[in-house]
Amino acid sequence: MFISILGIIGLQGYWIYSAWEDKEEEFSLAVQQSLQLTADEIQERELSDYITAYEKLIDSLETPDNASFANIFLFLDEDKPNNLLSYYAYGILEEDYQITPYLDPKLGDTITGVTDVKQVKNTTIINKNDVFDRENNIATSIEKIKTIERMNIANQRIRSAFRDYTSNTPIHKRLNAQELDYVLKRQFDSKNISTTYEFGIYDGGLATKIKSNNYTEQQVGFRYTAPIFRDQNGAGRYELVVSFPEKDQYVFSSILGVGGLTLLLTLFIVFVSSTALFQIIRQKKIAEMKTDFINNMSHEFKTPIATINLALDAISNPKTKLASEKIDRYVSMIREENSRMLNQVENVLRISQLERSRNPVKMSNVDLHQILDSAINHIDLILKDKSGVLSKSFTATEKNILGNKSHLTNITINLLDNALKYNDKKPEIKVETLNNDHHLIVKITDNGLGMSPSVQKRIFDKFYRASSGDIHNVKGHGLGLSYVKKIVDLHKGEIKLESKINQGTTFLLSFPLE
């Protein structure tokens, strides 16, 4: 399970990383395409402005000073069903205008010569049966069509001339920041790029005046570049630079939805698996504690049963029947062992009843000092047998609480009995009461074996018994302190303990006053 969880986490991490890289690559590609389209659009716009101004200038002029045809092409097409021949003539007419110096309508620079280029189309259709007039040796045409129109200026050498002409023009005369920002924004919007950006144009590595308001040479964020105003060879001196200060956040937000859901599901799987693993370990420990409990119960029952059998065998002996004092002693032994087994069964049944019943105890007004005195009297003989000492300090002025006298007596006896059992020296027990913040506090301190921090964390768990040191030598079922905790909780109280190995233990029981 652990390896599977690690595998899932690793795969999800790799998927998120791959998605991040894919989005970054997609973003970079979209930006580069946008920059290239922006550079092409701005350069085409500049050329278009020149061409428009150029054509207006030519239209305003009169007869050209010189006109000549160049590159004449002839084509023949035969229409056999109709006995027709068609001759197509195509040529280029160049018209030169020798004019006085003229100002460029866009830049204000001087132009000393203008050339116009037109295309001329001539179509002649003749009858195939009467191709030539034998006398005049002239072809008889059925129809003549002649058209003259200006050629597409983009297909002429004037395009190269304009590029050469503008190559030495300052960049601020060819472009402004507002136009560049407008075209960039339009291109980014078409690619669904909606994050902030800053831009600038560099001339041979040096910044120019064309830049956004917040652009600096040490701009934060990844920078993308593209050449702008290229010559006919595709090279250029100017470079368009765009940076995205919030690129990482933008790319991350694009995968946040799916990535977040994937991460959430992965955490859920980890949580469920961890919970299942915790439950498995917990159930295993409970099973071990139940096994110990059954072993302890078997031992607790085996000893009195064996004692009772021996006593019965002794009573059955004919010699014993004649000695009445022996019979009385054996009967007393049987009664004690039987009472011992009944007490063990009652402890188990008491815990079971508390867990299954919704209203397990009946409450009434009780005097806790009286209950403590009763519990102390109950262990008095055992305390004297071990030569122990018990001191009382009942300083609480408000001693009445709402509780169950029987259960409160049992838990007090249980705590005092543990103080005697888990002690390898002369027992010294101190029982105190006091009032604090509308609560009645009971403090029971001993000088016994004490408990380690790990044992203290689990001492109130059902069936739990410490399995190290001298504690394991004391027989029990691991139900006593679990029962104490249950009763204190039912009385809406609180139980705490302070303990150190070989320095004793102190139990603090706090009950709310009426």
> pLDDT for 501-510, tens place per residue?
888 999 999 9
Report percent pLDDT > 90 for the chain: 12
Give the DSSP letter string of 99-128: -S-EE-TTT--EE--EEEEEEEEEEEEEES
Contacts of 373 (CB under 8 A, 6+ apart): none
Q: Confirm whether 251-351 and 361-512 share one CATH topology.
A: no
With left for phi above 0 and alpha for psi between -120 and 50, is residue 96 left, alpha or beta? Answer: beta
- Report the Cα 345 to chain-centroid distance in Å: 54
Contacts of 200 (CB under 8 A, 6+ apart): 207, 208, 210, 211, 212, 215, 217, 219, 241
Q: Classify domain 361-512 at the CATH class level.
A: alpha beta
What mean pLDDT do residues 25-44 have?
A: 89
**How far apart are alpha carbons 117 and 69 in whole angstroms?**
10
pLDDT band at 74 (very low <50, low <70, confident <90, very high): low
Q: What is the DSSP letter of 135?
A: T
What mean pLDDT do residues 374-398 have?
A: 87
* Residue 302 pLDDT: 72
With left for phi above 0 and alpha for psi between -120 and 50, is residue 344 left, alpha or beta? Answer: alpha
More confident residue, 242 or 306: 242
What mean pLDDT do residues 362-372 have?
A: 90
Instruction: Give per-residue pLDDT as tens, 204-238.
Output: 878 888 888 877 766 666 788 888 887 767 677 88
Among 119-123, 196-200, 309-313, 477-481, which is the least confidently predicted range?
A: 119-123
Residue 323 clears pLDDT 90, i.e. is over it? no
Among 167-171, 417-421, 465-469, which is the least confidently predicted range?
A: 465-469
pLDDT band at 360 (very low <50, low <70, confident <90, very high): low
With left for phi above 0 and alpha for psi between -120 and 50, is residue 409 left, alpha or beta? Answer: alpha
- Report the Cα 136 to chain-centroid distance in Å: 97
- Residues 256, 261, 262, 266, CA torsion sign: positive
Fold of 251-351: Helix Hairpins (1.10.287)
* Residue 69 pLDDT: 52
Nearest CA-CA partner of 480 in 467, 468, 464: 464
* Residue 430 pLDDT: 94
Which stretch of DSSP H or E encloses residue 242?
Answer: strand 238-244
Domain ranges of the chain: 2-48+167-245, 64-163, 251-351, 361-512
The chain-wide mean pLDDT, for the chain, equals 76
Residue 368 clears pLDDT 80, i.e. is over it? yes
**How far apart are alpha carbons 235 and 229 in whole angstroms?**
8
Which stretch of DSSP H or E encloses residue 378?
Answer: helix 368-378
Instruction: Give per-residue pLDDT as tens, 437-474.
Output: 889 999 999 998 888 888 888 888 776 666 544 444 44
**How far apart are alpha carbons 493 and 487 in whole angstroms?**
9
pTM over 0.95: no
User: Could you give the angle at which helices 247-316 and 2-60 cross, rounded to 10 degrees?
Assistant: 170
pLDDT band at 119 (very low <50, low <70, confident <90, very high): low
Residue 134 clears pLDDT 50, i.e. is over it? no
pLDDT band at 76 (very low <50, low <70, confident <90, very high): low
Nearest CA-CA partner of 203 in 247, 257, 150, 241: 241
More confident residue, 170 or 471: 170
